[in-house]
């Protein structure tokens, strides 16, 4: 039986490209209304533009789906709350949150500044906290919610030059474990997805990965299952 999302509303962060884009397109294709959130910055978090999110919304609408773009930084709690308020005003509920926004500032620990360490943790961990906190009471009141954190093998196993990224990604696992316990009585299911996919975030790895076998579209079916009923 095909997984469908008619009547469901989803927020996908970091959805302007790569995994987030694939997630947003797939959710919309299966009937969900989707908030496409993306700051539109560089991989290191610099800059910003709504163009990336708007392009994905255009794809969804061209295919007959319903979506809206949002360029809030997940590190800005007030902007995240405004995004959630706009979603509620437009569609009246939020059923699915995919915490996928991320940045990279890779260096060995010896050469890494505390600023770069904090920034990566702020985006990956606190960004997920900000977004999850903003929808948590809505999902509790609904008695329904599905939340997925995007973690990484860099956190599970370590990766050279990614102490900040690995620490942030593993912290998401701890957050997920506790929220899955606390949310269970309100039918809020919280999971992590640890993908390996060829996206803008992995383009520097080159021949170290069999890139043709790592398309982001191969990860999204797992996400769809985790956010289904």
Parse the chain into domains and list their residue ranges: 9-223
pLDDT category at 103 given cuts 50, 70, 90 is: very high
Q: What is the pLDDT of residue 48?
A: 64
User: Full-prediction pTM beyond 0.85?
Assistant: yes
Q: What is the pLDDT of residue 197?
A: 45
Q: Out of 3.40.50.1980, 3.40.50.720, 3.40.50.180, 1.10.110.30, which CATH number does the structure's domain 9-223 have? A: 3.40.50.720
| 114-121 and 163-183 helices, crossing angle to 10° | 30
| CB distance 69 to 51 below 8 Å | no
Percent of the chain residues past pLDDT 70, beyond the cut: 88
Q: What is the pLDDT of residue 202?
A: 46
Contacts of 190 (CB under 8 A, 6+ apart): 147, 148, 149, 176, 179, 180, 183
Active site residue 157: no
Measured distance between the N- and C-terminal CA atoms of the chain, rounded to whole angstroms: 13
Q: Which is it for the CA torsion 126, 131, 135, 140, positive or negative?
A: negative
Set 144, 157, 165, 225: catalytic member: 165
Q: What is the pLDDT of residue 216?
A: 79
Cα 132 from Cα 98, distance rounded (Å): 9
What backbone torsions phi and psi does residue 12 show, to the nearest 5 degrees?
A: -120, 115
Q: What is the pLDDT of residue 156?
A: 86
User: Listing from the earlier edge strand, what are the strands of the sheet with 33-37?
Assistant: 67-70, 33-37, 9-12, 96-99, 145-150, 188-193
pLDDT tens per residue across span 188-223? 999 999 986 444 444 554 455 555 556 778 899 999
Average pLDDT, the chain: 91
- Of residues 91 and 196, more confidence is placed in 91
């Amino acid at each position: 039986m095909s997984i469908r999302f008619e009547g469901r509303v989803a927020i996908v962060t970091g959805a302007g490209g790569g995994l987030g884009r694939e997630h947003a397109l797939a959710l919309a294709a299966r009937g969900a209304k989707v908030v496409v959130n993306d700051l539109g910055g560089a991989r290191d978090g610099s800059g910003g533009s709504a163009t990336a999110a708007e392009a994905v919304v255009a794809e969804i609408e061209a295919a007959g789906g319903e979506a809206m773009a949002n360029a809030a930084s997940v590190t800005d709690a007030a902007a995240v709350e405004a995004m959630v308020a706009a979603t509620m005003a437009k569609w009246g509920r939020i059923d699915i949150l995919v915490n996928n926004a991320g940045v990279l500032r890779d260096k060995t620990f010896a050469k890494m500044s505390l600023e770069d360490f904090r920034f990566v943790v702020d985006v990956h961990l606190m960004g997920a906290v900000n977004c999850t906190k903003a929808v948590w009471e809505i999902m509790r009141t609904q008695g329904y919610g599905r939340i997925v954190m995007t973690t990484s093998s860099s956190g599970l196993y370590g990766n050279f030059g990614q102490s900040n990224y690995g620490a942030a990604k593993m912290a998401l696992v701890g957050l997920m474990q506790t929220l899955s316990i606390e949310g269970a009585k309100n039918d809020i299911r919280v999971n992590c997805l640890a993908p390996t996919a060829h996206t803008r975030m992995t383009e520097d790895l080159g021949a170290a990965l069999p890139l043709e076998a790592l398309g982001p579209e191969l990860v999204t079916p797992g996400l769809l299952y985790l956010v289904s009923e």
